[in-house]
Chains A and B, each alone.
Chain A
Amino acid sequence: DAKTTQPTSMDCAEGRAANLPCNHSTISGNEYVYWYRQIHSQGPQYIIHGLKNNETNEMASLIITEDRKSSTLILPHATLRDTAVYYCIVRASGGSYIPTFGRGTSLIVHP
């Protein structure tokens, strides 16, 4: 699986959009971009995933660049409860995938 690079930490004001970047320059054609988040002392929570088209769900939007070498997770109106560590993972869709986590981005949403 391709390696990802994320900023160690970010912060944003409550009510504003949080844009979390992820670089995955070695991504291959069959690999998806997945985002999870982990709120303190809880298990990771799935947010969204995509292959090459931009995706949106009730939690967030995922913007993937045309060359697929980077992506941005957007939380349109961040709340205090969005404070968490956000993990960007690149993986193939097959069943042999073994999920591994990097350091992620610690997002702090402040009042």
Chain B
Amino acid sequence: GAVVSQHPSWVICKSGTSVKIECRSLDFQATTMFWYRQFPKQSLMLMATSNEGSKATYEQGVEKDKFLINHASLTLSTLTVTSAHPEDSSFYICSATRRGSATSYEQYFGPGTRLTVT
């Protein structure tokens, strides 16, 4: 099956620093990638939609200048949390869309990245 990886799997950083999280589709080209954030005991909240070569579309309430998304290729998207603060501590998950057939698109999720800001 299709595989999506994330790196790092966990990271601890100091308040005020920036952290980059990578999302890769390992064996397919992703038409679209999505970034989610998940706080403890809550569901996944969509942050942004990313298409290769174009600017990301952010959900309402998500600061685009704080959460920088770069989708450099059909297999790689990065999320940079700039000037991180403790309230940014969360579980960040990416997903990638693969075209399964002429009419179906399948969604594959990465394993997630646990960010802790101290």
On A, residues with C-beta under 8 Å from B are 36, 38, 41-46, 85, 87, 93-95, 97-104
Contact among A38, A45, A95 for B32, CB-based, below 8 A? A95
Number of A-B contacts (CB under 8 A): 52
Q: Whose C-beta in chain A lies nearest to the C-beta of B32?
A: A95
**What is the distance, in angstroms, from A55's C-beta to the closest C-beta of chain B?**
14
For A98, the closest partner residue in chain B by CB is B49
Q: Are B99 and A95 in contact, with the CB atoms below 8 A? A: yes
Q: Which of A42, A85, A87 has the most CB of B within 10 A?
A: A42
Question: B residues near A, CB below 8 A?
Answer: 4, 6, 31-32, 34, 36, 43-44, 46, 49, 91, 93, 95, 97, 99, 103-112, 114
**Contact for B111 among A43, A94, A98, A102, CB less than 8 A:** A43
Alpha-carbon separation in the docked complex, A98 to B59 (Å): 11
On whether A104 and B43 interact (CB within 8 A), knowing A95-B31, A95-B97, the answer reads yes
Please give, as numbers and ranges, the residues of chain A lying within 8 Å of B97 by CB-CB distance. 95, 97
Cross-chain contact B111 with A93 (CB below 8 angstroms)? no
